[in-house]
Amino acid sequence: MYTQSGLKKLVNKSILNLSYNEEAEKLNDPVKYILSIGGKRLRPVLALMACNLYNDKIDEAIIPATGLEVFHNFTLVHDDIMDQAPLRRNLPTVHSKWNVNQAVLSGDVMAFIANECFLQTPPHCLSKVFRVFNKVAIEVCVGQQLDIDFEKAAIVSHEEYLRMIELKTAALLAASAKIGSIIGGADDKESDLLYEFGRNLGLAFQIQDDLLDIYGDIKVFGKILGGDIISNKKTFMLVKALEIASVEQAKQLHEQFTLKEIDPEIKVKKVIDLYDQLNIKNISENLANDYINTAFNLLEKTGVISERKTELVSLASSLIGRDN
């Protein structure tokens, strides 16, 4: 069995081996830059682990798995334009290091470099794998659109919020697990279980991520606590809080998120106070736990023997901050 760190190394090597059309260097520089500034390589590692559940040989899955990482980074480059984000992983985003036009164009070519990777899927499952990939690619765009729409919307239900993060984040983890399993030789029933595993894991992960912004260990999390509150970002916690708040509490929450010239520290404190009154931390943790338990139950249901699943269980556990 391959370990998480072993797989990450294989993915990083595969990223370095990507071939580029070198006629216009300026096009590729931002691609190489964003792909070099790291991250966990979560999606390709998940795909390769899912492949490895069914097959000792994972070679044929490496390039398609790399395509998932290239696609993910394509979405980061374009999302950062839309969010006007100056930093990504503590380094300048592509549009701030170069410019918006360059970020649009270099992002675009990444979509086709991802295609190039998927075209190297073994012929017997190329069409199937590509369909899974392309469906999720469209879903990620839909999720980003909903995210933009929700930022401007006065009221968003927690169901709408969950559907948005499902499309924007969880679906790609789901598709990664499914694609890896298909290349590994899993049948439809098994690969659908892997899809649902990834989807539930992704939802748990995103809610957990929202929680960590407030309740995380600043040393581990590496961001200022309450950043989402300061930047008025809609999170599961905020959406849920507004849903169950009394008229008076809702008024106070709205105030914090609409008043100009508010001291950020006081704002974070007041919002957390309201969350505490509404038991938001528990509600969110319980929901994340429900999703993660569902994910592990789905993994149980697969026809794979337990020993083959240890690495995947360990990856999933670390993702949602559970010791395992």
Name the residue nearer to its own copies (CB basis): 56 or 149: 149
Q: Which residues bind its own copies (CB under 8 A)?
A: 21, 23-24, 26-27, 78, 81-82, 100-101, 104-105, 107-109, 111-113, 115-116, 119, 123, 126-127, 130-131, 134, 137-139, 141-142, 144-146, 148-149, 163, 167
Name the residue nearer to its own copies (CB basis): 146 or 241: 146
Name the residue nearer to its own copies (CB basis): 166 or 311: 166
Name the residue nearer to its own copies (CB basis): 78 or 240: 78
User: Cβ distance 292 to 300 under 8 Å?
Assistant: no
Name the residue nearer to its own copies (CB basis): 49 or 179: 179
For the purposes of burial, counting CB atoms within 10 Å of the CB of 199, is it exposed (0-12), middle (13-18) or buried (19 or more)? buried
The CB-of-113 to its own copies minimum distance in angstroms stands at 7
Number of C-beta neighbours around residue 71 at 10 A: 25
What residues have CB less than 8 Å from 296, skipping those under 6 apart? 313, 316
What are the residues facing 92 on neighbouring strands?
87
The CB-of-28 to its own copies minimum distance in angstroms stands at 9
The CB-of-263 to its own copies minimum distance in angstroms stands at 30
For the purposes of burial, counting CB atoms within 10 Å of the CB of 20, is it exposed (0-12), middle (13-18) or buried (19 or more)? middle
The CB-of-259 to its own copies minimum distance in angstroms stands at 26
The CB-of-79 to its own copies minimum distance in angstroms stands at 9
